Amino acid sequence: MSLSFYQPVLDGTASSSVFSSILHKSSPSEQIRSLIMHSFVTFWLLAAAVNAAPVQKRQLSGLSSTSSELEDGDCKAVTFIFARGSTETGNMGSTVGPATCSALRVKYGDDQVACQGVGGAYLGDLGSNALPDGTTSAALEESTKMFKLANSQCPDTKVVAGGYSQGAAVMAGSVGKLDSAVMAQVKGVVLYGYTKNLQNDGQIPGYPKEQTKVFCNASDGVCSGTLMVTAGKQFYPIYKLIYLADMSKDISPTTRMSKMLLLSWKSRSEQPSLYME
């Protein structure tokens, strides 16, 4: 099977007409149903395209709700630490956590990326969202422990991190309070449905703004200072809307790897798509 058959899927050009029609559905629920259906079709095609490539041998692995590669002793070029949303299963969750891990592996190779979820004392229960930090102190300590582990066990790895919903609050409350040496290893943080978005002005207190990317849909109530779960909350888990940020092409691969491995959201007018170089 020729990989060129799937090129419109890989470069995003297949999305324009589809997303245009989806975003003009009459109700949010119709939008969600249409988007999910299109996304799973696209994800299937993408998986087939990757499996059809005999040279790259890259797979869409990592689609599991649990990943503890750092705790298992794996030291790789990139370490992705993720905190799941409330009520999600495992330590990675079932939505954007595994999908982001998988996107990093597609881009850099399975043998170059270790994925680690924040589990243990972070329970991801609903009630903890109402606490001042948007989560528990135990959850923040658990997240901090993962960053310290990466620093002590894998001093040469480039750490990137992410969180969804309550998990975004976990990251926001822990990353900015890391010791300077540990924080210097964290090259970028992406937050989906950031529950402290309004309170923290779309930033992580104590962490560089230019190394932070926040995805907050206009219709997501938790992004505007409330704890109301609205229709916009459902758009983050869609594989088709996740794509890796452009890496500069005029620098060496080593330098490129050390730059932020952030996720970026294209505006609706640009037609969001899964982007891979």
Higher pLDDT, 251 or 132: 132
Round to whole Å and give the CA distance between 222 and 200: 13
Nearest to 194, CA basis, from 251, 129, 124: 129
**Predicted pLDDT of residue 44:** 41
What token pair was written down for 276? Answer: 């891979």
**Predicted pLDDT of residue 99:** 87
Round to whole Å and give the CA distance between 220 and 258: 32
Q: Categorize the per-residue pLDDT at 216 as very low, low, confident or very high, splitting at 50, 70 and 90.
A: confident
> Residue 137 pLDDT more than 80?
yes
**Predicted pLDDT of residue 245:** 35
**Predicted pLDDT of residue 222:** 74
Q: Categorize the per-residue pLDDT at 158 as very low, low, confident or very high, splitting at 50, 70 and 90.
A: very high
Helix, strand, coil abundance in the chain, percent, nearest 5: 45, 10, 45
- The mean per-residue pLDDT over the stretch 88-102 comes to 91
Domains annotated on the chain, with CATH: 64-267 (3.40.50.1820)
> Residue 113 pLDDT more than 50?
yes
Rg (CA), the chain: 18
This prediction has a pTM of: 0.65
Distances (CA, A) of 229 to 86, 87, 126, 203: 11, 13, 11, 21
The percent of residues above 90 in pLDDT, for the chain, comes to 44
> Residue 270 pLDDT more than 60?
no
What token pair was written down for 14? Answer: 């297949």
Q: pLDDT digits over 165-176, tens only?
A: 999 999 999 999
Round to whole Å and give the CA distance between 118 and 137: 13
Higher pLDDT, 99 or 247: 99
Round to whole Å and give the CA distance between 75 and 78: 8
**Choice among 105-109, 153-157, 255-259 with the minimum mean pLDDT:** 255-259
